[in-house]
Each structure stands twice: as structure tokens, then as C-alpha cells.
Amino acid sequence: MITRRHFVSTGSFLRFFLLLAAFVLPWQVIYAQEVPDSLKWVPAPPLHYDFVDYDANLITHVGRLDSVLKKLSKVKVQHKGRVNIIHIGDSHLQADMMTSVLRNGFQDFFGDLGRGLVFPYQLANTNAPRDLTVGSNATWKSNRIGVSKADKAGICGFGIQCAKENSSIRIKLKSTEDKTQCFNRMVFFLGDENSSYRLTDSGMGSSVTLRTRSEIDTPSVVYESDSMISGFELTKTDVRENGDFSCYGVSLEKKDTCGVLYHTIGVNGARFDQFLGNEVFWRQIKALKGDLFIVSFGTNEAQNPTINDAKQQAICDSFVKRVHRVAPKAVVLFTTPAGSYLRQQKPNANVQAVSRSIAHYCDYKELAYWDLNAITDGATGAAAMKKFKLLGHDLVHYTQLGYEFQGLLLLNALANAYNQYYKKHPIVNKPKPKMVIEYIDKSKKPNRY
């Protein structure tokens, strides 16, 4: 027998269930949906070649990237925060042909925080990225990691010094039809002496005096402009007795916004061990607060006719430990080198040996790595890349097409990692609950029945 009391209880429960469903079910539907196209990262695909294993174009131990992928997803969905990527390597990176593809790919999707770290390579008489115009009123002495004294090269792997009074450096970013390059924050890495500098640019309206101080943590000085600019001129205004003008690089950034800052550090002829021994580099790079370090060496290690696997793995381990000393929470992603020739005669088999050492180390430590050498079929792939004019005339470096091809391969591998992560860990911006305020007019007398 159903009593009135039972009916009331059942009705109350039903109303409670319907109310709960009204709030819970829509969120269940949202979480069950596929990732919207606007949140999928789909870069341009790389060109197709038969020797490339596109199915293998993946990040191994991709779960180690989760912390970075989480930060990237928050930047994309919530429009908050920034992700700092530092890509360190040898001559394959110095001209920025591969890394410019990666930088533009990240910034087009997640947001543009600026050009990042640059160096006046032209004043050091070496090859430079194509988007930099550099000038000076003086002649400079140059140094680089692996060749000069360790304290004469810094964060970019290079350093330049000038003894002339009122010597200056001019740097201007070029813009393309697709992208206008500008910045309003400059992070300078200069000498450690107490010195004065004059900073000028047409966009500033007037010059600014900057002062560096010795015995402080780097960077040497940071300046933020009220307007966006595309270049600057920095002049050392101290008397000669205060020391030479020393420059190690400058990071060109955008303040008060979110997105990705992608720094490229490439040095001709560099190896793992040469960076390990440079204390100025490690002291200065701490200021970049890297979230992800992409490490791309191996070509120059492969010039050694006898590759010691245990020694190579030990060097990789030392490199990771140095990274974590300056950036304890950072993630390290190794890449293996693409194939190249030995003395322009035949594919260098040592490149495969170095690549295996890097992969073995990452497998043992369960670190993320991208095996470019295996994806492009090692020595056989080197011959194929020569055939398709992806390799340059020296058969060690690549043409612009070859570097852009490698950049697109890595960009797509990273995009796949991001999409897979976001599919498992979507971020939903829940709407704030509405507050209903009822106004009660106390001046009115209550109705009496």
C-alpha cells in the first residue's frame, strides 16, 4: 500500500534526481566529446619520401613530456602562462633553418612570446639566421664554445668583445609577409663589470641609459619598452678603463601576454662535452627558466672513428644533470642526428653508432627522445637525402629544404604528442555559477490571510 508519506518522499527524491541530472549530465557530455578542431594542433605535413618511416615519427617515452604538455594545454585553452623552450645543438641549429619551423609552428598555435635568444653572429664572422640584420661601428674579437677560452663564450655558445670607446651593436628583426617580428622586452647578457650603456631605437622616442653591475646573477640587465619595437642599438658609454664591451646575446620577448618562447642555441662544430665545460653558459642559461630543453648533438661526435658507447652515455647523463641543476623541473628531450657522409665519400656509419648510444641511454633512463636517424633510415637515408638534394654540398649539412623537412617532422611528432595528451586530459572552462539576489522591500506590510 502506498501511503501519502511514501508518495511525498518519492516525489522529493525524483525532483532531487532531475535537478542533479540537469547539472551533471551536460558536463558528462562535454567530457565525452571529441577534441574540438580548434584545439587540435595540426601543423603542415612534411614532404613525402619513400625512405622515411612516417609511422615511426613519434616521441619515445612521450609520457615524460606530460608536464610541458599540460602547461601548453593551459596556455591554449585558458590563455594563461608561458612555456619556455630551449633548443641546444651544433651547426645544424646555428642558422635557425630547422628551428624557425619549430618556433613558428609553436607560436602560431599557442601564442607568440617573441623571437627569443639572438646573437650578432655577423660581428663574429660566422653564419647567421636570415631574419637578423646586424651592424656596428667597430671591429670585434669573437669566441665560441669548444675553440676559445671557456669564460669568453656564454649563453649563445659565442661571445664578442670590443675595446673601442662608444662601440655599438645594432640588431633588427626582419618581418615576412606571414609574420611581423617585434618585441617590447630585452634581456641582455653582457660583461660582468660595472658599466653604462645607451639604448636607442626609433620606436622609443628617446635614448635610455642602462647600468650593469658586477657580481650579480645574470642576466646583466633587463629593459621593458612601452611600445613594440623591431630593433635597437646598444652603445657602451663608459671610458675605456672600465673594460671592454662584451656581448653574449640578448633575448627579445613580448611582455604581458601568453604563449611560447622558443630559444635556439646552435654552435658550429659543437659537441656535448664542450658545452659541459662552459660555466658561463650554465650560469647565464638559468635566467631563461626553461620548461623544455631539446638537445640535438651527435654529428660532430660521429667524426671520432672510435665511438665508446659507455662514454657517450655517461656524457649524455652529465648533460641532463647540468640541465636539472639550472632548471630542476625542466623536461629534456633528446634528438638523434640525421645521416651524413664521411669525407664526402660514403655515409658515416658512426652517426648510427652515436644515435644508438643516445637512444640506449634514453631507454635506460626512460627519457623522451626523437630518433630522427631511425625515422630517416640511417645510412641508407643519407644516400637518399643526397639524391633528393636535401643534403648540402659538403654532405654533412643540409639544404634549406632539408632542414625545413626535419623541422616539420619534429613539429608533427610534437603535435601528435600534444593531441594525444589533450585527448586524455582535456581542460574544460566551467562557467561560474550564477548568483540570484532577491530584493525584499521591507516598507511593505506582509499580506494577511
92-129: pLDDT as tens digits: 999 999 999 999 999 999 999 999 999 999 999 999 99
Tell which wins on pLDDT, 241 or 279: 279
Q: Which long-range contacts (CB under 8 A, 24 or more apart) does 97-101 make?
A: 97/398, 97/400, 97/403, 97/404, 97/407, 98/403, 98/404, 98/406, 98/407, 98/410, 99/262, 99/264, 99/266, 99/407, 100/129, 100/131, 100/264, 100/407, 101/403, 101/404, 101/407, 101/408, 101/411
What is the average pLDDT across 196-214?
84
Band (24; pLDDT cuts 50, 70, 90): very low
387: pLDDT strictly greater than 90: yes
pLDDT of residue 352: 95
CA-to-CA distance for 125 and 389, rounded, in angstroms?
27
Band (272; pLDDT cuts 50, 70, 90): very high
Continuous segment of H or E residues that includes residue 382: helix 378-387
Tell which wins on pLDDT, 8 or 193: 193
**Model confidence pLDDT, tens digit, residues 126-158:** 999 999 999 999 999 999 998 866 568 999 999
The rounded percent of the chain whose pLDDT value lies above 70 is: 84
32: pLDDT strictly greater than 90: no
34-113+257-449: CATH topology is Rossmann fold (3.40.50)
Given its phi and psi angles, is residue 114 left (phi above 0), alpha (psi -120 to 50 degrees) or beta?
Answer: left
Domain boundaries, the chain: 34-113+257-449, 118-256
Residue 180 CB partners (closer than 8 Å, separation 6+): none
Task: For the domain covering 118-256, report its CATH number.
Answer: 2.60.120.260
CA angle in degrees (0–180, nearest 5) for 220-68-223 = 20
Band (176; pLDDT cuts 50, 70, 90): confident
**Model confidence pLDDT, tens digit, residues 401-430:** 999 999 999 999 999 999 999 999 998 776
Tell which wins on pLDDT, 58 or 220: 58
- Write down the residue that cell numbers 547539472 correspond to: 23
Grid coordinates representing 388?
633528393
Q: Determine contact, residues 118/155, Cβ cutoff 8 Å.
A: no
CA-to-CA distance for 411 and 424, rounded, in angstroms?
20
